[in-house]
Amino acid sequence: MGFTNKEAIRAIENRKLKVNGNIVAENIEFNETWEIYYEDNLLKPGTPFTYIALYKPKGIETTNNKEIDNNLTTVFPFDKHLGYAGRLDKESEGLLILSNDGKYIQSLSSPTKEKEKEYVVTVNKPITKTFIDQMGAGVDIMICKTKPCIIEQLSEFEFKIILTEGKNRQIRRMCKALGYLVSRLIRVRIDEILLGDLKPGEYREYTLIK
């Protein structure tokens, strides 16, 4: 914006800085989407929020760091400063949420918000009722015991699971603790956003209804 920190503080103290039409009266962390005026001179036009549902393919790391092989920029053009919600390990696939709306991303990512995340999982051997019951009740994965969750068997080797927590490689650890290995894991929903008919590497923009 052409301001030093000292000049910005002085502008705030003199009540000459406006953000989205409101006078700034205290130090705040600026958001790149804001419209900013100084003494009625436009310093920066506002940028609308962007909301994107991306199908992260298997084999892609959940990072936009180009120094890491097979990062997200190889399947998505990061031309905006986007954060993401719903980290998936490299071997997992499915829905990631991308947005420049930091509060929205935080609301989906924070464990205290307990937003639902739904997965379809394929395992290496036939599923039993005992397995379903134990997964649903919570499993000791060494670092903790997972919370009770919603789980439904879909076929001999496949089940659907809905979590409200997001421990690292949680579903894989739960299955392994019960003697199963995950052969495929797809996230199909985060909160109210569905993967839908997206294919690996595809994405769509959506409108957030607040």
Q: What gap in Å lies between CA 210 and CA 206, rounded to an integer?
A: 13
The catalytic residue among 40, 69, 89, 191 is 89
CA-based angle 10:15:17, to the nearest 5? 80
The CB density around residue 101, as the number of other CB atoms within 10 Å, is 19
Residue 156, SS3 per DSSP: coil
Is 197 noted as a catalytic residue in this protein?
no
Task: Tell me if 37 sits within 8 A of 18, measured CB to CB.
Answer: yes
Relative to beta strand 93-99, strand 182-190 is: parallel
Tell me whether residue 22 is exposed, middle or buried, using C-beta atoms within 10 angstroms of its C-beta: 0 to 12, 13 to 18, 19 or more: exposed
What is the rounded end-to-end Cα distance, in angstroms, of the chain?
A: 30
- Which residues share a beta bridge with 194? 189
AA letter at 209:
I
Query: Scanning the structure block, which residue is given the tokens 């990631």?
Result: 96
Six-digit token string for 188? 């199909």
Catalytic residues: 89
